[in-house]
Structure 1
Amino acid sequence: MKSQIIAQYDSPHQFEPLMPQESKMGPLLERASDLTRAAAKLAAPTSPVAHRELRALLRSMNSYYTNRIEGEHTRPVEIERALAHDFSSDADISRRQRLAVAHIQTEQACEQALVSGQLVQSGPGLGLYSARAILHLHDLLFQGLTHQDLILSDGHSVLIPGEFRKRQVAIGRHEAPAHEAIPAFVERWAQSYAGVRKGEASIVAAAASHHRLAWMHPFADGNGRVSRLHTHLLMHSMGLTSGLWSPLRGFARTEDRYRALLQGADEHRRGDLDGRGNLSEAGLIGWIDYTIEMCIDQVEFMGEQLNIQGMQDRIRACLMFEENARKSGVRKEALIALHYLFASQEELGRAEFKAMTGLGDRVATQTLSALLKQGFLATDAPYGKVRFAIPSHALRFYFPALWPEAEKDQALVEVELRGDDEPDGAATTCPSG
């Protein structure tokens, strides 16, 4: 027997099941175990402060991709400019820039709160599975926008950051719960998922909770972004990401599947073999399996990107391009020192760095200055130690196919600066990721 079609959702039992039955959990737990092992392998050589510059890049990428799913993204170069407080004079572009920066800042602040214990998966502190947490995320994502930015698509309603919606909404074929019932639905959602045992089951719960949070559609706008960031933070809270990957990239790069499987989990139960709740258990399982698959895919992709030997070859190619094509003052003799900084994720004193180039002092100093100017090195003080950094124009060499849109955007910027018709450099062969 199919479940009853409900005209309006007004009671939390109507969005059961929140988790698959135990008899259906086996394959999902196995996939979650695969994710745990892959994530541990990726994180093994990483110290808590390692890959600082890469993490900053990934936050920008996550922001780009989550906003792209909503059709509210801006060019990667415009995100970079906004982070330097350079906003477009075009009202729509500047709004998108503010959305991008807000996501970057929120992701960073929440990850830091997880480290400090102010934000937790469950237990003492502000639990991720709570109404307060999702209201807080929504507030952080949208509080920096102007009043004009917050006007909704109907032209007169205004989004209030950090507040549940006060009106009825429909998303495609899905009629969201009555707005008066949202607190009760959220409380049921929070209690159910916070109570799941730790380990592989908590990964399954994180995937399931993403759909059920999006299904509730608790806000007038921003539900997808809150749901995706919430899932990212759950994975981070479990120690799975190490700041080196996110499901957001996977969702955006398989957007058709992402939307189709979310919609599939919205469906009503199809018969007696489709669980015991009102909504389709098969649809929920399909969504969970996809989410874990996306996570594994991202972990494996980043494992390839961070391969130490492979990176040496990519740094070499980049330095040759800088020296021979861009003529930026960067020299190929910096290879050993740059690769050491990448492999060790440590900092080097400037004298040590120059010595590793094997160049004379004057030329080594010029090379170091060029590396800093071009963004290949970062430092916290005028004469301080230096660390590995990732300039946007080196992205296509260092991490090919990580963020293809940013690679293309940077090539266009270089063309604009030179006034050429074609970007410099041969196309790189990229893993699919």
Structure 2
Amino acid sequence: MHSQKVAHYDSPHQFEPLMPGERLLGPLLEQASDLIRAVAAVGATAAQEELRALLRAMNSYYTNRIEGEHTRPIDIERALQQEFSANADTARKQRLALAHIHTETSCEKHLDQSLAEGGNVVRDLYSLKSLQWLHRSLFEQIDGEDLRLADGSNLLVGELRQAQVAIGIHEAPLHSALPGFIARWADVYGNARRGEMSIVAAAASHHRLAWIHPFSDGNGRVSRLHTHLVMYAMGLTKGLWSPLRGFARSEDRYRALLRGADEHRRGDLDGRGNLTTQGLIDWISYTLEVCIDQVQFMAAQLDVTNIQSRIEAALLFDASTKSAGVRIEALAALHYLFATQLELGRSDFKSMTGLGDRVATDLLSSLLKAGYLASDSPYGKVRFAVPRHALRFYFPNLWPEAERDVDMLKPAPAPQHEGKMRERPVAQIHKDRPRA
């Protein structure tokens, strides 16, 4: 039986296979098992909530960059402070970034609550209702001309598309058939066996959702955010890593493998579905490799044995530039907060600096103002935080674009500092991937 290039996709059997056959799953399940083991090595961090807020901004930057709709990290930071550019296009991109941040935040909080109540949150994410909610949340904050599409129509926010579309050479399913395709997508992936199989399913579902192209625009953002949330709901990310960064860092490969999995079956040895089985396998393998790479990178970044020297580098730089009253005497107390994941009373923190009370009080105030510490009240306990300008020291190469932008937030000259830990080059994820 040969696959048929149909004029119109109107039946869910036309995007089979949704999963590789049983005999082809072995290597993919091994990769999923490797991901689970890698996740176990990611330690908790004292600055978890502050770091997660930073990572949400980073995720919004990278997913919008794939669409060519990103703004600079500094503009995202300004938008978070409700400072929008006078340039209409930049302001629109700022709103897109904020929408992604807010959607990711609210979704993760909802998932946490549902998990606490014993809900099957992974299965619930695989539904038309969830997809429509994601789309609506991502785009309801922009309006007017910002919603105008290339063909002159307006984006239908949270609604399935009402017209036929083609993406490159791929002709998406008829709009009248979308509910059937989505129902089949939800049934297969939402009911995948827990554990390694559900991780393989999450990777496969990303392509098949993009292939369905349920909305008139915004499908890439919805697909990527959906994959991020499924990984989160399965307890894999802890909010401390995301495949979105990896997809953006290997964008050419990401796009090429999505297109490759769009293809029709390549012959009798390429499965029995209408679409290519090998293309789907290649996509799943790539996605799992990206996830493993991101997890391993973040595990190294959060390694408590290395953080002291990185805190020291940040403090020394700020002290050398006489920035905001920061002093190296804060090192022991900051490292203690990171290593123990505790909070300290202000008097205890000051005593750990070894300074006199007045100088220590000034230092504590400077650290709070500069973002090295966070507190829930003016006189409350303090905890470890991640100052944006020290990102290059604390977590080198995590968000290089933000590291470069930080000089616009702080007038001091950029340090010639290179973090010792380096992420495995994206080019090594696949031996045939070109070097960055």
CA apart distance, 1:346: 2.1
- Which residue of 2 is the match for residue 175 of structure 1? 171
- Which residue of 2 is the match for residue 116 of structure 1? 113
Confirm or deny: 8 A CA contact 2:228 2:243 kept in the other structure: yes
Distance in structure 2 (CA, Å) of the matches to 1:121 and 1:302: 29
CA apart distance, 1:153: 2.0
Is 1:202 the counterpart of 2:192? The answer is no
Any idea what SS the aligned residue of 1:378 has? strand
The 5 A counterparts of 1:328-407 are 328-407=324-403
Partner amino acid for 2:40?
A
TM-score (norm: length of structure 2): 0.94
Confirm or deny: 8 A CA contact 2:19 2:204 kept in the other structure: yes
Partner amino acid for 2:423?
S
Is 1:297 the counterpart of 2:293? The answer is yes
In the alignment, which of 292, 309, 312 is matched to residue 308 of structure 2? 312
Any idea what SS the aligned residue of 1:322 has? helix
Distance in structure 2 (CA, Å) of the matches to 1:424 and 1:273: 56
CA apart distance, 1:118: 7.6
- Which residue of 2 is the match for residue 273 of structure 1? 269
The 5 A counterparts of 1:229-268 are 229-268=225-264
TM-score (norm: length of structure 1): 0.94
CA apart distance, 1:432: 3.3
- Which residue of 1 is the match for residue 104 of structure 2? 107
Partner amino acid for 2:326?
V
Any idea what SS the aligned residue of 1:164 has? coil
Is 1:136 the counterpart of 2:126? The answer is no
Any idea what SS the aligned residue of 1:117 has? helix
Please list every run of at least 4 consecutive aligned residues from structure 1 whose deviation after the TM superposition is greater than 6 angstroms. Answer: 118-122
Partner amino acid for 2:44?
T
- Which residue of 2 is the match for residue 46 of structure 1? 44
Confirm or deny: 8 A CA contact 1:328 1:370 kept in the other structure: yes
CA apart distance, 1:121: 11
Q: Mark the CA change 1:267 to 1:323 in structure 2 (over 3 Å): closer, same or farther.
A: same
The 5 A counterparts of 1:400-419 are 400-414=396-410, 417=411
1:147-168: CA deviation from partner (whole Å, max 9, x where unpaired): 22111122x2111211111111
Distance in structure 1 (CA, Å) of the matches to 2:342 and 2:272: 54
CA apart distance, 1:376: 1.1
CA apart distance, 1:425: 1.7
Distance in structure 2 (CA, Å) of the matches to 1:120 and 1:77: 38
Partner amino acid for 1:89?
A
Any idea what SS the aligned residue of 2:371 has? coil
Is 1:189 the counterpart of 2:189? The answer is no
Deviation larger for 83-92 or 58-67: 83-92
The 5 A counterparts of 1:70-109 are 70-109=67-106
- Ranges in structure 1 where 5+ consecutive residues have no aligned partner: none
Distance in structure 1 (CA, Å) of the matches to 2:133 and 2:119: 16
Any idea what SS the aligned residue of 2:398 has? coil
CA RMSD, Structure 1 to Structure 2 (Å)? 1.8
Confirm or deny: 8 A CA contact 1:319 1:332 kept in the other structure: yes
Q: Mark the CA change 1:352 to 1:119 in structure 2 (over 3 Å): closer, same or farther.
A: closer
Distance in structure 1 (CA, Å) of the matches to 2:341 and 2:175: 49
Matched residues, percent identical? 63
Any idea what SS the aligned residue of 1:149 has? helix
